[in-house]
Amino acid sequence: MSVIFHQASREFHLCNDGISYIIKILPNDQLGQLYFGKRIHDREDFGYLLEFANRPMTSVQQDYGFSMEHVRQEYPAYGTTDFRVPALEVLQEDGSRLTNFTYESHRIFAGKPKLKDLPATYVEGEEEADTLEITLTDKLLDMKLILLYTVFNGENAIARSARFENHGKKAVHVTRAMSLSLDLPDCDYDWIQFSGAWSRERQVKARRLEQGILAVSSARGHSSHNHNPFIVLKRPEADEFQGEVMGFSLVYSGNFLAQAEVDTYNVTRVMLGINPFAFSWKLESGETFQTPEAVMAYSGEGLNGMSQTLHRLYRSRLARGVWRDRVRPVLLNNWEATYFDFNEEKLVDIAKAAREDGVELFVLDDGWFGARSSDSSGLGDWYANEERLPNGIKGLSEKIEALGMKFGLWVELEMVNPDSDLYRQHPDWALQTPGRTCSQGRNQLVLDFARKEVVDHIYNMIAKILSESKVSYIKWDMNRSITECYSKAFPADRQGEIFHRYILGVYSLYERLIQNFPEILFESCASGGGRFDAGMLYYAPQCWTSDDSDAVERIKIQYGTSFGYPVVSMGAHVSATPNHQLYRLTPLETRGNVAYFGAFGYELDLQKLSEDERKTVRKQIAFMKEYREVIQFGTFYRLQSPFEHNIAAWMVVSEDKKTALVGYYKILNDVNCEFRRLRLKGLDPDAKYEVEGKDNWFYGDELMNGGLVTTDPSAGQVIAGEVCTDFWSKIYVLKEKDR
């Protein structure tokens, strides 16, 4: 077993070959945190890691040498000698918020339990993981707190969550319930967050931890473009390939809080979970509340090591279904080709051209339903617009399949336009606060997915389309944040639950569609990257990474996203130029060279390209089909950051290390520049590799230590032959030479 309990010292040691995590039952029967990091030898007693001191201005309950303010805790509460931000808070009938959850029992078992109604990592055999379940009890409230820890035997990761059970006779309100709390013994860390806005999501932002609180969060009803529910702590000397790194990822798609509090004794408290702002969950007698899951990943081999742990885990034990292990089809989406200006004939013509060039999946985006001719009407009316599609989705999908392609469809199931039949029939189905002005975003309101009857109605409409038609792919969009969050279906003392209930409604609709239409490939979207989180990957194995399809901006967006999410999860497409977001002119080759590293596709009308451009597209599609298994399921390495350099680079290596692809991107050209080499990673040091386009072969250790020569035509005076420009790029293909 990967979980050891020492009865005499009352300590739990969670471990595998790479990591150790040690918890101790404290003298007051609460839980203390002793260690998280690289695997250490087990011993009967790690109590020496728990230190006590009589400090001035310290409050205690009994022993002046023992105060919760100065003890590293496992799941802390506020108000009984600890003044730091707590992991939990329970509002009781008498107005008190004090709790005292103490150890009652524990259970150790093989495997991993499923979380009710929530996304979570999983195992396919009990031998893959071991789970520790610790039950704490507040005797005054007759309430239980169950802490769950799963150690994956093959990965340096631990999954955590908490469950509250009210066994008392009176209702309580849980107003704070973190998924993860971790007290670290020092603050010598750099904090990395992934922040931005629409069309510039997940930009890498780093700073040193200092005394005080550093946090990112969302209160928008979704995880958001602005901040991602994933943070990293690394030692200052750590980099991509060496040093101690910890990643903290929340498997959740709603309001979140990620926080590090450093006290004046330099202890760091890390927390991750549902944002307690505007949150309250009423627990009646006999009811339970389960927090979302959080995953902690540890690496002693730098940032890439941490990322690769999450990539493997999320790719194979978070994503599910028939598409989990399949390479993704090359698609063409009509949105930037037509916007709302299309009919069936025009769509079929676009699809025919795409098929000629090797595209496998044609996706019909917005505008196919209801009275939808702009973004101001039709949302909520999920039936085909017969003026545009006289044969409906059924007829169009059959025509696309007759071409030898698969058919995909865009939906935005969570929203409604005031100008729609659905809203006219059920105006109370939109989230809105009585007596208050109801805000709109993109001319739409948010449906009350906290209500089962609303979710059922939407399911019935879209399931009818899917049952009658040949739909192989769904792009599920969500184009606005939640305002005026109030549900008419719930009483006043449950309005704090609506944000969370909304996300549970989204998850429930996904689950029903997945179970009833298991062959459909789902891609999540939220105005691009507004809900790119681990929770979504449980339902949709890929996500539209950003509405910004400009290749140069995508280098940063995809680079930042790769810290916490696998390459195969990133929707990445080649779009037209001038780019529709930046009006930038970027070479078609570079657009392809960036988009290869994801779920590859096109956002344009191929008929509008020149014949030379069409030839390039055909080469790109052939290249992607040849190498997509390596790209989407190989080991990914970040080599050089676009946030720090004018030249960015990354690479992916096949599992057998026989094939590798290096993406190399120069943002702006330079003149008479230096000779350049790039140190590669992940190769077999003893293997001989041929590099496409180079006459020689190289040992793996040469390429990793001496480096791959990447000098471009800008080194020296350009006279003739290949030239280098702004936004220049190159893909290096490495194949193992016959031994």
Integer Cα distance of 182 and 33 in angstroms: 7
Quickly count: other Cβ atoms within 10 Å of residue 467's Cβ.
11
CATH 2.60.40.1180 fits 647-736, yes or no: yes
Burial of 702 (0-12, 13-18, 19+ CB in 10 A): middle
Integer Cα distance of 72 and 424 in angstroms: 56
Strand pairing category for 521-524 and 542-544: parallel
Strand order in the sheet with 688-691: 635-640, 647-653, 659-666, 728-736, 688-691, 697-699
Closest CA to 154 of 317, 301, 324, 21: 317
Q: How far is CA 376 from CA 53, 370, 380, in A?
A: 65, 12, 12
Phi-psi region of 500 (alpha: psi -120 to 50; beta: other; left: phi over 0): alpha
What is the DSSP secondary-structure string of 4-26?
Answer: EEETTTTEEEEE-SSEEEEEEE-
Contacts of 693 by beta carbon, 8 Å cutoff, 6+ apart: 732
Amino acid in position 641? S
Domain spans in the chain, listed from the N-terminal domain onward: 3-317, 331-632, 647-736
Could you identify the residue written with the tokens 């293997």?
Answer: 687
612 by DSSP, 3-state: which? helix
Q: Which two tokens stand for residue 210?
A: 């200092």
Average pLDDT per consecutive 10 residues, the chain (739 residues; last block may be shorter): 95 98 97 98 96 84 82 94 96 97 98 98 98 98 98 97 98 98 98 98 98 98 98 98 98 98 97 98 98 98 98 98 98 96 97 98 97 95 96 98 98 98 98 96 97 98 98 98 98 98 98 98 97 98 98 98 98 96 96 98 96 98 98 98 98 98 97 95 98 95 98 85 91 92
Beta strands in 592-670 (DSSP E): 599-603, 635-640, 647-653, 659-666
Contacts of 435 by beta carbon, 8 Å cutoff, 6+ apart: none
Closest CA to 327 of 697, 80, 632: 632
Contacts of 79 by beta carbon, 8 Å cutoff, 6+ apart: 86, 97, 98
Q: Which CATH superfamily is domain 3-317 in?
A: alpha-galactosidase from lactobacil brevis (2.70.98.60)
Strand pairing category for 102-110 and 129-138: antiparallel
First to last CA, the chain: 41
Dihedral, CA of residue 345, residue 351, residue 353 and residue 359, to nearest 10: 180
Instruction: Supply the residues annotated as catalytic.
Output: 477, 547
Integer Cα distance of 259 and 403 in angstroms: 52
**DSSP category for residue 278:** T
Integer Cα distance of 346 and 298 in angstroms: 52
Helices 452-468/498-516 angle, 10° precision = 20
Closest CA to 401 of 336, 470, 449, 331: 470
CB-based contact 130:109 (threshold 8 Å) = yes
The CATH number given to 331-632 is: 3.20.20.70
Q: Is the Cα dihedral 165, 119, 111, 156 positive or negative?
A: negative
Integer Cα distance of 216 and 256 in angstroms: 8
Q: Is the Cα dihedral 556, 560, 562, 567 positive or negative?
A: negative
Integer Cα distance of 458 and 481 in angstroms: 19
Phi-psi region of 573 (alpha: psi -120 to 50; beta: other; left: phi over 0): beta
Q: What is the pTM of this model?
A: 0.97
Q: Which two tokens stand for residue 531?
A: 């809900």
What is the DSSP secondary-structure string of 111-173?
Answer: S-PPPTTS-----SSGGGEEEEEEEEEETTTTEEEEEEEEEETTSSEEEEEEEEEE-SSS-EE
Quickly count: other Cβ atoms within 10 Å of residue 342's Cβ.
20
CB-based contact 180:157 (threshold 8 Å) = no
What is the DSSP secondary-structure string of 312-381?
Answer: HHHHHHTS-STTTTSPPPPEEE-HHHHTT---HHHHHHHHHHHHHTT--EEEE-SS-BTT-SSTTS-TT-
Q: What is the largest CA-CA distance in the chain?
A: 86
54 by DSSP, 3-state: which? coil
CB-based contact 676:707 (threshold 8 Å) = no
Beta strands in 432-480 (DSSP E): 445-446, 473-476
Strand pairing category for 129-138 and 230-234: unpaired
Integer Cα distance of 47 and 40 in angstroms: 15
Integer Cα distance of 572 and 548 in angstroms: 10
